[in-house]
C-alpha cells in the first residue's frame, strides 16, 4: 500500500489539530499579556537549577512516594517518548525519518521499556482513583479520559510496531524493541496476510496521531493544562526569600490618588499569578496540608486557586480580557474578590504549607495577602479586632496596645546595656513586642540574655526606643503602615551603626532579614535557634548534666518553611545532656502551623476547631515530656493547647532558650568585649 495517503490524512490531521490548538493557546497568551507586568527573567542560573530539580527531577512529588513515583515515571516517559511522537508525525511526509539515526536501536529499546513502565503507571493511577480513592483526590471523568488517552498512546504504539515488524517479516527486532518484537511475533503467528498486517499497523499509526492531537487540544481546556505550563511555571517561580511578601512601590502616591490597592479584579493579577492559575493540577496536596482546612475553616487553598482561575476563564469567554478587541461592558469589571469566601481569606495563617507541598510551585499566599490588602487599604473592610490591632500598632507600636514607654521595663535592674550606652556592641538584640510585653515571652527574653552573657556575646538592646517591626500590620494587609514602621526602624538602626541583629521571634527575624531589604534595610540577622548551636559548637556555651527529658520540637512556620531552618534548633536540643529528641510525621517541612501566623495571633478563632488544639494532639503522639519551640507566638498557642487538654502536669512547653539556660554551667560571666562569630 502506498504511503501517499499519509501525506493527505496526516496533513489534514495536523492542520486541524494544530490550528485549533494554536487558536486556544493564543487566547490564553492574550490573557497573560493583558495582566500586570512582573519581572521573572532574572537569575537564569538559579531558575535553571530549580527547573531541573523540581520540574524535571520531580523532587516535590516524592513527598508521597507511591503517587510520586507513578507521576515521575509518567512524566519522564513522556519526555523520552517525545522523540517517538516527533518521528511518527514527520514520517507522514518523510517515510523512514529518524530523529537520531545513529542511536536508533538503543532508543528503540529505551522507548519500548519506557512505554511499558508508563502503561503500568497508568494502571496504578486508575487503581488509586477507583479503588484506593485518596481523600484529596476528587473523582474526575476528565482525569480517567486523559489516563485512557495516555494508555492508548502506549498500546497503539506497541500494536503499530508489532504489526509493522510482522508485515515486513522483521521478527529479529525483539532485542531492539522487546515489547514491539513480542507483539510482532504474536501477529506473525496469527496467520494474517502482510496486507492485513500493514492495514493494522497503519490504523494504529493514525489512531496514535489522532490521540496525540486530541490530547493536545484538551490540555488547555482542562486541569491538565499543567502538562504545558508546569515547567515554565517552575522556571519562573519566586526566587526572592520565601518569607518575603511582594513589595508595593509608591504606596503613598497610590493612597493619595485613591487608586485601588491589592487584588480585587482580574486586571489586578500579574501575568505570573495568572500562570499560577493555569498551572494548578487539582492534586489537593495544598488542601490536605492546610491547617485551616484541617480544622473546618472555609479556607481551601486549592479552591482559592480554582475559583480565581474559573473567573479568569469566564472573563476571557465574555471577551472582557484577553480578546483581540476588548468587549465594552457597562460599569466596572466583575470583582475577582467576589469569587472567594472572605472568611477563607482571613482564615489563612500564612504558614506556606500549601506552597511547600505544591509540585508546580504555585504561590497561594501572595494572592490571599493581596486580597487582604484590598480589603484593608481600599475597602476598609475588616473585623473590629483587626481594626483594634492596627490601631494599637500605629499608636503604641505593639499589637496589644501596651504603653510604648514601658517597652523596656522588663530589663529594669538587670544592667543590660542599651545601644546608646554601648554603641560598639557587636549585636543589637531586638527583643520584639512579645518579648517585651507578654509575660510568658519575657521569660524567653530573660533566658536569652542569660545565655548571651554566659557565652560572652557583645550585645545591646534598644529598650524603650524599640519599635514593632510591622510584621503583623503587613500580614493583616496594611502595607502602608508596615512600610512606615520599617522605614523608621531602618533609619534608627542605620544611624546607630547597627550591622548585626539577634532575634528570638521568627516573625521579627523574617521581616528584618527578608523584607527590610525591600526598603534599603540590609542587616545581618540571626535567630537565637541558629546562634545557640553555633556557640555550643564553638565551646562558648557549656552545659551540665541533668535529668533525662523526652523532647519534641515544634517547627515555627516562619523559621521552617519561610527560611528553611530545621536542623539548627534540633542540634541545640541534642547538645543538652540527657535530651532525647523524638519526631512525628507532621514535623519539619510537613509540620503543621500552631495557628498564630498571618496575624491570626490577634484574631479570635470562631470557626471550626482550634488549630493549636489539633497541633498539640499531633505532638502528643510521641508522649513527650517537653514540647519545645523557638517562637513566642508558638509558645502561647501550644501552652493554651496543652492547658485546654489538661496536660500541664504531664508535659511542659519550653523555648529552646529556656531549656539551654537551665543547663548552663555556672561560671563567671565572660567580658562583654568577647566577640561571637557571626
* pLDDT range class, residue 674, cuts 50, 70, 90: very low
Q: What is the pLDDT of residue 331?
A: 42
Q: What is the pLDDT of residue 133?
A: 84
Q: What is the pLDDT of residue 135?
A: 79
Asked if residue 332 has pLDDT above 70, the reply is no
User: Which among 456, 382, 441, 353 has a CA at the least distance from the CA of 629?
Assistant: 441
Write the pLDDT tens digit of every residue in 64-105.
Answer: 888 888 899 999 998 888 888 988 898 888 887 877 767 888
Asked if residue 364 has pLDDT above 60, the reply is yes
Q: What is the pLDDT of residue 671?
A: 53
- Residue 103, C-beta contacts closer than 8 angstroms, at least 6 positions apart: none
Strand 579-582 relative to strand 549-553, pairing: parallel
Asked if residue 251 has pLDDT above 80, the reply is yes
Q: What is the pLDDT of residue 323?
A: 58
Write the pLDDT tens digit of every residue in 219-229.
Answer: 999 889 999 99
Q: What is the pLDDT of residue 227?
A: 92
Asked if residue 361 has pLDDT above 50, the reply is yes
Which among 163-167, 190-194, 264-268, 488-492 has the top mean pLDDT? Answer: 488-492
Taking the alpha carbons of 516, 518, 519, 523 in that order, is the dihedral positive or negative? positive
Write the pLDDT tens digit of every residue in 610-628.
Answer: 999 999 999 999 999 999 9
Distance CA 509, CA 501 (A): 9
Asked if residue 666 has pLDDT above 50, the reply is yes
- Domains with residue ranges and CATH for the chain: 4-235 (1.20.950), 251-381 (1.10.1060), 392-536 (3.40.50), 542-661 (3.40.50)
pLDDT exceeding 70 applies to what percent of the chain?
Answer: 96
Average pLDDT over residues 6-19: 91
Q: What is the pLDDT of residue 326?
A: 41
* CB contact at 8 A, 74 and 64: no
Average pLDDT over residues 306-311: 93
Average pLDDT over residues 20-24: 96
Write the pLDDT tens digit of every residue in 375-428.
Answer: 999 999 999 999 999 999 999 999 999 999 999 999 999 999 999 999 999 999
The residue length of the chain stands at: 678
* pLDDT range class, residue 1, cuts 50, 70, 90: very low
Q: What is the pLDDT of residue 336?
A: 78
- Residue 575, C-beta contacts closer than 8 angstroms, at least 6 positions apart: 533, 536, 543
What distance, in Å, lies between the first and last C-alpha atoms of the chain? Answer: 78
Write the pLDDT tens digit of every residue in 557-596.
Answer: 999 999 999 999 999 999 999 999 999 999 999 999 999 9
* pTM strictly above 0.85: yes
Distance CA 46, CA 42 (A): 9
Which residues on neighbouring strands pair with residue 628, listed in sequence order?
553, 654
Average pLDDT over residues 26-40: 93
Asked if residue 130 has pLDDT above 80, the reply is yes
Asked if residue 675 has pLDDT above 70, the reply is no
Dihedrals φ, ψ of 430, to 5°?
-85, 110
* pLDDT range class, residue 677, cuts 50, 70, 90: very low
Amino acid at each position: 500500500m502506498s504511503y501517499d495517503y499519509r501525506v493527505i490524512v496526516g496533513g489534514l490531521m495536523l492542520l486541524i489539530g494544530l490550528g485549533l490548538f494554536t487558536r486556544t493557546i493564543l487566547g490564553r497568551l492574550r490573557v497573560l499579556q493583558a495582566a500586570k507586568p512582573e519581572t521573572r527573567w532574572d537569575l537564569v542560573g538559579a531558575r535553571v537549577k530549580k527547573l531541573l530539580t523540581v520540574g524535571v527531577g520531580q523532587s516535590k512529588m516524592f513527598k508521597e512516594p507511591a503517587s510520586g513515583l507513578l507521576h515521575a515515571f509518567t512524566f519522564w516517559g513522556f519526555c523520552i517518548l517525545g522523540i517517538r511522537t516527533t518521528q511518527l508525525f514527520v514520517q507522514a511526509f518523510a517515510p523512514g525519518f529518524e530523529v537520531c539515526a545513529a542511536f536508533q536501536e538503543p532508543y528503540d529499546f529505551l522507548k519500548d521499556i519506557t512505554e511499558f513502565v508508563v502503561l503500568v503507571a497508568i494502571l496504578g493511577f486508575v487503581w488509586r482513583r477507583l479503588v484506593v480513592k485518596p481523600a484529596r483526590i476528587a473523582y474526575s471523568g476528565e482525569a480517567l479520559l486523559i489516563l485512557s488517552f495516555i494508555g492508548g498512546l502506549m498500546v497503539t504504539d506497541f500494536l503499530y510496531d508489532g504489526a509493522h515488524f510482522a508485515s515486513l517479516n522483521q521478527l529479529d527486532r525483539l532485542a531492539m524493541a522487546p515489547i514491539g518484537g513480542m507483539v510482532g511475533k504474536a501477529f506473525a503467528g496469527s496467520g494474517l496476510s502482510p496486507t492485513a498486517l500493514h492495514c493494522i499497523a497503519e490504523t494504529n499509526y493514525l489512531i496514535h496521531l489522532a490521540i496525540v492531537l486530541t490530547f493536545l487540544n484538551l490540555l488547555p481546556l482542562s486541569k491538565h493544562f499543567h502538562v504545558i505550563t508546569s515547567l515554565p511555571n517552575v522556571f519562573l517561580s519566586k526566587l526572592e526569600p520565601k518569607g518575603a511578601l511582594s513589595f508595593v512601590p509608591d504606596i503613598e502616591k497610590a493612597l493619595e490618588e485613591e487608586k485601588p490597592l491589592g487584588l480585587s479584579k482580574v486586571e489586578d493579577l500579574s501575568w505570573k499569578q495568572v500562570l499560577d492559575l493555569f498551572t494548578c493540577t487539582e492534586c489537593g496536596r495544598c488542601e490536605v496540608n492546610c491547617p485551616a482546612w484541617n480544622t473546618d475553616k472555609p479556607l481551601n487553598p486549592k479552591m482559592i486557586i480554582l475559583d480565581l482561575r474559573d473567573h479568569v476563564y469566564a472573563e476571557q469567554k465574555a471577551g472582557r480580557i484577553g480578546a483581540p478587541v476588548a468587549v465594552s461592558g457597562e460599569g466596572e469589571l466583575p470583582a475577582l474578590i467576589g469569587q472567594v469566601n472572605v472568611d477563607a481569606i482571613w482564615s489563612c495563617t500564612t504558614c506556606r504549607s500549601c506552597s511547600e507541598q505544591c509540585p508546580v510551585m504555585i504561590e497561594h499566599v501572595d494572592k490571599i495577602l493581596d486580597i487582604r490588602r484590598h480589603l484593608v487599604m481600599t475597602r476598609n473592610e475588616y473585623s473590629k479586632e483587626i481594626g483594634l490591632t492596627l490601631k494599637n500598632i500605629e499608636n503604641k507600636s505593639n499589637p496589644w496596645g501596651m504603653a510604648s514607654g514601658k517597652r523596656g521595663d522588663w530589663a529594669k535592674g538587670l544592667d543590660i546595656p542599651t545601644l546608646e550606652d554601648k554603641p560598639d556592641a557587636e549585636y543589637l538584640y531586638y527583643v520584639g513586642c512579645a518579648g517585651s510585653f507578654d509575660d510568658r515571652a519575657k521569660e524567653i527574653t530573660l533566658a536569652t540574655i542569660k545565655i548571651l552573657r554566659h557565652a560572652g556575646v557583645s550585645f545591646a538592646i534598644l529598650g524603650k526606643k524599640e519599635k514593632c517591626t510591622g510584621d503583623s500590620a503587613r500580614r493583616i494587609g496594611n502595607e502602608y503602615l508596615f512600610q512606615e514602621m520599617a522605614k523608621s526602624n531602618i533609619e534608627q538602626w542605620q544611624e546607630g551603626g547597627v550591622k548585626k541583629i539577634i532575634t528570638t521571634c521568627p516573625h521579627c527575624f523574617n521581616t528584618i532579614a527578608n523584607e527590610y531589604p525591600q526598603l534599603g534595610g540590609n542587616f545581618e540577622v540571626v535567630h537565637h535557634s541558629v546562634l545557640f548551636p553555633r556557640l555550643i559548637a564553638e565551646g562558648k556555651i557549656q552545659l551540665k548534666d541533668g535529668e533525662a527529658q523526652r523532647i519534641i520540637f515544634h517547627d515555627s512556620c516562619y523559621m521552617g518553611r519561610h527560611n528553611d531552618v530545621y536542623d539548627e534548633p534540633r542540634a541545640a536540643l541534642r547538645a543538652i545532656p540527657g535530651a532525647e529528641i523524638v519526631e512525628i510525621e507532621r514535623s519539619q517541612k510537613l509540620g503543621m502551623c500552631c495557628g498564630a501566623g498571618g496575624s491570626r495571633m490577634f484574631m479570635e478563632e470562631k470557626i471550626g476547631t482550634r488549630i493549636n488544639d489539633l497541633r498539640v494532639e499531633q505532638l502528643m503522639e510521641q508522649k513527650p515530656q517537653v514540647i519545645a519551640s523557638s517562637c513566642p507566638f508558638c509558645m502561647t498557642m501550644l501552652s493554651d493547647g496543652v492547658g485546654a487538654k489538661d496536660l500541664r502536669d504531664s508535659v511542659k512547653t519550653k523555648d529552646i532558650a529556656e531549656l539551654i539556660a537551665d543547663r548552663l554551667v555556672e561560671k563567671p560571666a565572660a567580658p562583654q568585649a568577647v566577640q561571637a562569630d557571626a
